[in-house]
Amino acid sequence: MQHVISVSNMRESDASTISGGVPSLELMLRAAKGIRASYHFEGKTAVVVGSGNNGGDGFALSMLLLDEGKKVDVITVTDHYSEDSTHYMNEALKRGLKIIPFDEGSLVGYDTIVDCLLGTGFKGDVKGLYRDAIIAINNSGSYIISADINSGMNGDSGEAGLAVKSDLTVVIGYLKIGILKARKSEYIKKFVCTDIGITLLKEEDLLLTSNEWHTMGFPDEKDEVEFQGRRYFRE
Protein backbone atom coordinates (compact mmCIF):
# COMPACT_ATOMS: atom_id res chain seq x y z
CA MET A 1 0.00 0.00 0.00
CA GLN A 2 1.25 3.48 -0.78
CA HIS A 3 -0.02 7.02 -0.34
CA VAL A 4 -1.66 8.86 -3.21
CA ILE A 5 -1.52 12.59 -2.58
CA SER A 6 -2.29 16.00 -4.03
CA VAL A 7 0.29 18.37 -5.47
CA SER A 8 -0.27 20.85 -2.64
CA ASN A 9 0.35 18.16 -0.02
CA MET A 10 3.55 17.17 -1.80
CA ARG A 11 4.79 20.75 -1.92
CA GLU A 12 3.94 21.39 1.74
CA SER A 13 5.53 18.10 2.83
CA ASP A 14 8.65 18.89 0.80
CA ALA A 15 8.93 22.35 2.36
CA SER A 16 8.38 20.93 5.85
CA THR A 17 11.09 18.31 5.33
CA ILE A 18 13.53 21.01 4.23
CA SER A 19 12.70 23.25 7.19
CA GLY A 20 13.14 20.19 9.40
CA GLY A 21 16.79 19.93 8.44
CA VAL A 22 17.10 18.07 5.15
CA PRO A 23 18.74 20.42 2.60
CA SER A 24 16.89 20.91 -0.67
CA LEU A 25 20.08 20.02 -2.56
CA GLU A 26 20.15 16.67 -0.78
CA LEU A 27 16.54 15.95 -1.76
CA MET A 28 17.33 16.85 -5.37
CA LEU A 29 20.32 14.51 -5.37
CA ARG A 30 18.20 11.72 -3.90
CA ALA A 31 15.63 12.27 -6.65
CA ALA A 32 18.36 11.99 -9.29
CA LYS A 33 19.66 8.81 -7.69
CA GLY A 34 16.16 7.37 -7.77
CA ILE A 35 15.83 8.10 -11.48
CA ARG A 36 19.28 6.63 -12.10
CA ALA A 37 18.36 3.43 -10.26
CA SER A 38 15.19 3.01 -12.32
CA TYR A 39 16.89 2.30 -15.65
CA HIS A 40 20.15 0.96 -17.09
CA PHE A 41 20.98 4.01 -19.28
CA GLU A 42 22.99 2.29 -21.98
CA GLY A 43 24.06 4.16 -25.10
CA LYS A 44 23.53 7.90 -25.42
CA THR A 45 21.19 9.89 -23.17
CA ALA A 46 19.62 13.32 -23.57
CA VAL A 47 18.25 15.04 -20.48
CA VAL A 48 15.77 17.75 -21.50
CA VAL A 49 15.46 20.51 -18.89
CA GLY A 50 13.42 23.59 -18.14
CA SER A 51 14.02 26.40 -15.69
CA GLY A 52 12.57 24.88 -12.50
CA ASN A 53 13.68 22.27 -10.00
CA ASN A 54 12.47 19.49 -12.27
CA GLY A 55 15.34 20.59 -14.49
CA GLY A 56 17.59 20.47 -11.43
CA ASP A 57 16.79 16.79 -11.04
CA GLY A 58 17.95 16.44 -14.63
CA PHE A 59 21.23 18.26 -14.05
CA ALA A 60 21.90 16.13 -10.97
CA LEU A 61 21.12 12.99 -12.99
CA SER A 62 23.51 14.07 -15.73
CA MET A 63 26.21 14.56 -13.09
CA LEU A 64 25.67 11.01 -11.81
CA LEU A 65 25.77 9.56 -15.32
CA LEU A 66 28.96 11.45 -16.14
CA ASP A 67 30.56 10.12 -12.96
CA GLU A 68 29.87 6.64 -14.34
CA GLY A 69 31.38 7.45 -17.72
CA LYS A 70 28.02 7.42 -19.49
CA LYS A 71 27.34 9.48 -22.61
CA VAL A 72 24.90 12.23 -21.70
CA ASP A 73 23.97 15.70 -22.99
CA VAL A 74 21.54 18.23 -21.54
CA ILE A 75 19.12 19.81 -23.99
CA THR A 76 17.68 23.04 -22.62
CA VAL A 77 14.72 25.24 -23.53
CA THR A 78 15.86 28.13 -21.33
CA ASP A 79 18.88 30.17 -20.25
CA HIS A 80 17.91 30.64 -16.60
CA TYR A 81 17.51 28.11 -13.80
CA SER A 82 16.54 27.84 -10.14
CA GLU A 83 19.25 28.16 -7.50
CA ASP A 84 19.42 24.42 -6.84
CA SER A 85 19.38 23.64 -10.55
CA THR A 86 22.27 26.02 -11.09
CA HIS A 87 24.28 24.22 -8.42
CA TYR A 88 23.98 20.83 -10.14
CA MET A 89 24.42 22.37 -13.57
CA ASN A 90 27.78 23.73 -12.44
CA GLU A 91 28.74 20.38 -10.92
CA ALA A 92 27.89 18.62 -14.18
CA LEU A 93 29.80 21.20 -16.22
CA LYS A 94 32.90 20.47 -14.12
CA ARG A 95 32.56 16.88 -15.30
CA GLY A 96 32.42 17.86 -18.95
CA LEU A 97 28.67 18.16 -19.53
CA LYS A 98 27.63 19.51 -22.89
CA ILE A 99 24.56 21.79 -22.76
CA ILE A 100 22.74 22.17 -26.08
CA PRO A 101 19.99 24.74 -26.78
CA PHE A 102 16.87 22.99 -28.01
CA ASP A 103 15.89 23.07 -31.66
CA GLU A 104 13.80 20.67 -33.72
CA GLY A 105 16.84 18.54 -34.63
CA SER A 106 18.57 18.43 -31.25
CA LEU A 107 16.86 15.25 -29.97
CA VAL A 108 17.85 13.01 -32.85
CA GLY A 109 20.11 10.02 -32.25
CA TYR A 110 19.62 9.39 -28.53
CA ASP A 111 18.87 5.98 -27.08
CA THR A 112 17.18 7.46 -24.01
CA ILE A 113 15.53 10.82 -23.38
CA VAL A 114 14.79 11.99 -19.84
CA ASP A 115 11.98 14.52 -19.59
CA CYS A 116 12.78 17.13 -16.91
CA LEU A 117 10.89 20.05 -18.44
CA LEU A 118 7.87 20.73 -16.22
CA GLY A 119 6.96 19.60 -12.72
CA THR A 120 3.79 18.71 -10.86
CA GLY A 121 2.78 22.33 -10.38
CA PHE A 122 2.15 22.90 -14.08
CA LYS A 123 -1.39 23.78 -15.15
CA GLY A 124 -2.88 24.97 -18.43
CA ASP A 125 -1.56 24.71 -21.95
CA VAL A 126 2.09 24.20 -22.86
CA LYS A 127 3.48 26.98 -25.03
CA GLY A 128 6.63 28.09 -26.83
CA LEU A 129 9.79 26.01 -26.74
CA TYR A 130 8.35 23.79 -24.03
CA ARG A 131 5.59 22.75 -26.41
CA ASP A 132 8.04 22.23 -29.27
CA ALA A 133 10.30 20.15 -27.04
CA ILE A 134 7.45 17.89 -25.89
CA ILE A 135 6.44 17.25 -29.50
CA ALA A 136 10.05 16.47 -30.40
CA ILE A 137 10.40 14.09 -27.45
CA ASN A 138 7.23 12.24 -28.45
CA ASN A 139 8.41 11.95 -32.06
CA SER A 140 11.98 10.92 -31.21
CA GLY A 141 11.61 7.14 -31.19
CA SER A 142 13.85 7.00 -28.09
CA TYR A 143 13.05 5.31 -24.79
CA ILE A 144 11.44 8.11 -22.76
CA ILE A 145 11.61 8.59 -19.01
CA SER A 146 9.67 11.37 -17.28
CA ALA A 147 11.00 12.69 -13.97
CA ASP A 148 8.24 12.89 -11.32
CA ILE A 149 5.46 13.60 -13.83
CA ASN A 150 5.02 13.73 -17.58
CA SER A 151 5.65 17.32 -18.62
CA GLY A 152 2.42 19.05 -19.57
CA MET A 153 0.23 16.90 -17.31
CA ASN A 154 -1.83 18.29 -14.44
CA GLY A 155 -0.54 16.67 -11.25
CA ASP A 156 -3.95 16.55 -9.60
CA SER A 157 -6.28 15.70 -12.49
CA GLY A 158 -4.00 13.75 -14.84
CA GLU A 159 -5.36 15.82 -17.71
CA ALA A 160 -3.25 17.28 -20.50
CA GLY A 161 -3.78 19.04 -23.79
CA LEU A 162 -0.26 18.02 -24.74
CA ALA A 163 2.14 16.01 -22.56
CA VAL A 164 5.19 13.81 -22.85
CA LYS A 165 4.33 10.17 -23.61
CA SER A 166 6.67 8.17 -21.42
CA ASP A 167 7.78 4.58 -21.41
CA LEU A 168 8.55 5.06 -17.72
CA THR A 169 7.60 7.77 -15.25
CA VAL A 170 9.71 7.90 -12.08
CA VAL A 171 7.48 9.48 -9.45
CA ILE A 172 9.49 11.29 -6.78
CA GLY A 173 8.43 11.03 -3.16
CA TYR A 174 4.78 10.01 -3.24
CA LEU A 175 2.39 9.03 -5.98
CA LYS A 176 0.39 12.03 -7.16
CA ILE A 177 -3.32 11.69 -7.82
CA GLY A 178 -2.90 12.84 -11.44
CA ILE A 179 -0.35 10.13 -12.18
CA LEU A 180 -2.69 7.45 -10.87
CA LYS A 181 -5.61 8.81 -12.88
CA ALA A 182 -3.48 8.91 -16.03
CA ARG A 183 -1.97 5.45 -15.64
CA LYS A 184 -4.28 3.93 -18.26
CA SER A 185 -4.00 6.83 -20.70
CA GLU A 186 -1.77 7.25 -23.75
CA TYR A 187 0.79 9.14 -21.66
CA ILE A 188 2.12 6.57 -19.17
CA LYS A 189 3.12 2.99 -19.98
CA LYS A 190 4.65 2.31 -16.57
CA PHE A 191 5.43 4.20 -13.39
CA VAL A 192 7.56 3.58 -10.32
CA CYS A 193 7.96 5.61 -7.13
CA THR A 194 11.28 6.51 -5.55
CA ASP A 195 11.42 7.42 -1.86
CA ILE A 196 13.63 10.44 -1.16
CA GLY A 197 12.90 10.81 2.55
CA ILE A 198 10.11 13.37 2.53
CA THR A 199 7.88 13.21 5.61
CA LEU A 200 4.23 13.30 4.61
CA LEU A 201 2.22 15.97 6.43
CA LYS A 202 -1.21 14.41 5.91
CA GLU A 203 -2.71 11.24 4.49
CA GLU A 204 -5.09 11.56 1.58
CA ASP A 205 -6.14 8.84 -0.86
CA LEU A 206 -4.84 5.29 -0.75
CA LEU A 207 -3.69 2.93 -3.48
CA LEU A 208 -4.48 -0.69 -2.62
CA THR A 209 -3.02 -3.93 -3.89
CA SER A 210 -5.50 -6.34 -5.49
CA ASN A 211 -5.46 -8.48 -2.35
CA GLU A 212 -6.16 -5.48 -0.09
CA TRP A 213 -8.91 -4.34 -2.46
CA HIS A 214 -10.68 -7.70 -2.25
CA THR A 215 -10.09 -8.00 1.49
CA MET A 216 -11.99 -4.76 2.00
CA GLY A 217 -14.83 -6.10 -0.14
CA PHE A 218 -14.71 -3.49 -2.90
CA PRO A 219 -16.44 -4.40 -6.21
CA ASP A 220 -14.29 -5.89 -8.99
CA GLU A 221 -15.72 -3.66 -11.70
CA LYS A 222 -14.45 -0.46 -10.06
CA ASP A 223 -10.96 1.05 -9.90
CA GLU A 224 -11.82 3.62 -7.22
CA VAL A 225 -14.37 3.87 -4.43
CA GLU A 226 -15.40 6.15 -1.58
CA PHE A 227 -15.39 4.40 1.80
CA GLN A 228 -15.76 5.96 5.25
CA GLY A 229 -14.91 9.40 3.95
CA ARG A 230 -11.78 8.38 2.03
CA ARG A 231 -11.12 7.49 -1.59
CA TYR A 232 -9.35 4.23 -2.41
CA PHE A 233 -7.77 3.27 -5.72
CA ARG A 234 -6.99 -0.22 -6.97
CA GLU A 235 -3.39 -0.80 -8.06
74 has pLDDT over 70: yes
- In the predicted model, what is the mean pLDDT of residues 145-171? 96
Is the pLDDT at 231 greater than 90? The verdict is no
Q: Using an 8 Å Cβ cutoff, are 37 and 145 in contact?
A: no
pLDDT at position 228:
85
Mean of pLDDT over the chain: 95
Reported pTM: 0.92
When pLDDT is cut at 50, 70 and 90, the band that residue 167 belongs to is very high
pLDDT for the residue numbered 1: 61
CATH architecture of 20-199: 3-Layer(aba) Sandwich (3.40)
